[in-house]
A and B are shown apart, each in its own frame.
Chain A
Amino acid sequence: MRAFQILIDGFAISALYALGATGFTLIFGVSGVLNLSHGAIMVAAAVAAWAAASVLNVGTYAGALIGVAVALLTAFATYFAVVKPIQDSRRIPNEEKEIFVLTGTLLWGIMIQELIAYFFTNNAKTVLPIVEGVVEILGVRTPKNEIFTAIVCCLVIALLWLLVNRTRTGKAVLAASMNPRGVTLLGLELTNIYIVVWAIYGILAGIAGVLLGMFLGVSSYSVGPLTASAFSIVVLGGLGSVSGSLIAAFVVGYLETLTAYLVSPAYRTIPALLLLVFVMYIRPQGLLGRR
């Protein structure tokens, strides 16, 4: 009974983590950018969906769409206002661009977080779920919303896989992650590929954010922990490796759920952090990292 409960809850959480982390790792793989405003973009999507559905009464579907659209716009703003100027800057030495992108996106994330707190307060917000009600699976009372979350996450990840491996644009993205110079030599504009990647990222982060808002609820305080969890999942799986992130997301998701059920919810994040430190010591490049 309890085992099934852990199995089901852990799956939904893990799938959500996986979706949130895939976009993050995709951007790193293709353009070497670690986007520390990730959590802020997810929260922005969830709060926009909440505001559209609960304040403007546009309905849950339209609300979710607005949430994803807001995430897409924020992702583009992040790229054009923060990341691209730093990458193009001549005054910042190349070997220091990494730390500047980290600092810049971190500050940008704080700005988004503060704006959300200013206009929508710090209170936790739960987005109205698209499907309501409860079903019984294997003797466990499960909200339909939880099943919906898991299904949508898996579907979106499958779609992403198809996009990257089966379409021309996707193959260009894949090629850029392997060898950016080679791609430019073949006559493809690298900036266009980056824009495509940021668009994919925005949509993924948006969907993950809205689902998170329906499943657990968000507040402007969730920004930091969300970024940290995406960051640790991605490093655990190996920076830039999408399949590594998926595995790591499930490892972290289940570890957290197990700890929360069997030990205490207060210790929820500790085993995952310990595992992360352990993996970094024996295999610094992560589970499926390339370096």
Chain B
Amino acid sequence: MAGFLTSRLFFVSLALVIIAATLPLYVSGYVLGLLTVAFYFGVFAMAWDLLFGFAGEVNFGPTFLIGVGAYTAGILNAQFGWSVYLCIVLGALASVIAGLVLALPALRVRGPYFGLTTLVAVLMLQNFIVVFADLTGGEIGLTIPDVITINAGANYWIALGFMTISAAILYGLSQSPVGLVLQASGQDPVQAGALGFNIVKHKLAAFIVSAFFSGLSGALLVFYFGTASVGTVVDVAVGVNVIVSAVLGGRRTVLGAALGAIFLIVAGEFLRPTGELATFIVSAVALLVVLFFPGGFLGAALSREARS
């Protein structure tokens, strides 16, 4: 940890955060809105990377955790009128419970089987939302009466601060002894177990942390949007974006995942003039990165630094 505080990565990150924090002084509300969403997405991608990059669990359903957090917060606010902050906390807690539910099969099955279980979890949540339309707003979505604030600058700072704190915690965790045990149990569970580490306990912890941040970010996002819908927080396509962000930015780097998410959302916006081809171009770029720079943006940069 002490090494990190003097490393180049730390200073680059610090500089980026400081520059980002001053943005509301001179860019338009439109750019701020875009980046606010991108920052919440960054947290989704970092939480996913903790599970995949470190615990070695291929979670195809990040939106299960995100969606449970987002919808719990949204429903409690819209149907029962509870206060925004209480709803956000309860949303994150609900997501932790969802994370535990998801962790149960992960401790039994591995690889593609676990991946499928998580995908099924998303499809079930989606069906549940559509079936209980009275409670959840169904396919149209749930309109949420309260928001944290309507000031674009304040929203931006909340998102940036939230992402920075999450990044610090998740990155710190990944570099800590706990993170190393996680990495070991992800790569070779038998050997890690033979060395005397409790794999089950560590994996459960990874699921809880990942779910907590996904749910918290999802809950904050719905109070920013003022609406919760399947298309924005649950759909498999949203989950795909989270996974692509993490792989694009560099798996097993945590911070890279946030970069990937910001890139993906900003690039999608820049390509808007190309109309329907935007998704095609983003996917093609992502595929090229996967094929030619499997380490992702940050992975490629870090390995170059290590070599020189």
Contact = CB atoms under 8 A, between A and B. Distances in A.
B116 A280 contact: yes
A136 B277 CA distance: 47
Interface stretch (A81-89, A138-146, A172-180, A208-216): A81-89
Nearest to B115: A102
A235 B113 CA distance: 7
Interface of B: 52, 58, 105, 108-109, 111-113, 115-117, 119-120, 123-124, 127, 130-131, 187, 236-237, 240, 243-244, 247, 276-277, 279-280, 283-284, 286-287, 290-291, 294-295
Nearest to B127: A270
Given A98-B111, A104-B290, A224 B236 contact: yes
Nearest to A109: B283
Contact of A277 (B58, B117, B244, B290): B117
A71 interface: no
A43 B247 CA distance: 27
A103 B247 contact: yes
B244 A269 contact: no
Interface in A94-149: 95, 98-100, 102-104, 106-108, 110-111, 114-115, 117-118
Given A111-B283, A231-B119, A103 B127 contact: no
Given A108-B287, A239-B112, A266-B130, A103 B187 contact: no
A228 B287 contact: no
Nearest to A291: B113
A267 B131 contact: yes
A91 B295 contact: yes
B123 A106 contact: no
A275 B116 CA distance: 13
Given A107-B290, A235-B116, A281 B108 contact: yes
B123 to A, nearest CB: 6
A58 interface: no
B290 A231 contact: no
Nearest to B288: A107
Given A103-B243, A280-B116, 18 more contacts: A34-B112, A82-B291, A91-B295, A98-B111, A100-B294, A107-B244, A110-B283, A111-B280, A114-B276, A114-B283, A115-B280, A231-B116, A235-B113, A273-B120, A276-B120, A280-B113, A281-B108, A284-B113
A219 interface: no
A207 B53 CA distance: 39
Given A111-B280, A280-B117, A103 B109 contact: no
Nearest to B246: A103
B291 A85 contact: yes
A110 B111 CA distance: 22
Interface in A219-263: 224, 228, 231-232, 235, 239
A194 to B, nearest CB: 18
A92 interface: yes
Nearest to B240: A106
A100 B294 CA distance: 8
Contacts of A267: 127, 131
Contact of A280 (B105, B187, B284): B105
A104 B291 contact: yes
Contact of B109 (A91, A111, A114, A280): A280
B110 to A, nearest CB: 9
A20 B239 CA distance: 25
Contacts of A85: 291
A284 B240 CA distance: 24
A86 B291 contact: yes
A31 B257 CA distance: 30
B280 A118 contact: yes
Contacts of B119: 228, 231
Contact of A98 (B112, B117, B123, B247): B112
Given A82-B291, A95-B187, A111-B284, A224 B113 contact: no
Nearest to A119: B276
A180 B154 CA distance: 59
10 contacts: A98-B111, A100-B294, A103-B243, A103-B244, A107-B244, A107-B286, A228-B119, A235-B112, A270-B124, A280-B117
B105 A281 contact: yes
B160 to A, nearest CB: 28
Contacts of B52: 99
A88 to B, nearest CB: 11
B131 A266 contact: yes
A231 B283 CA distance: 21
Contacts of B279: 110, 114
A285 B108 CA distance: 11
Contacts of A111: 280, 283-284, 287
A103 B290 contact: yes
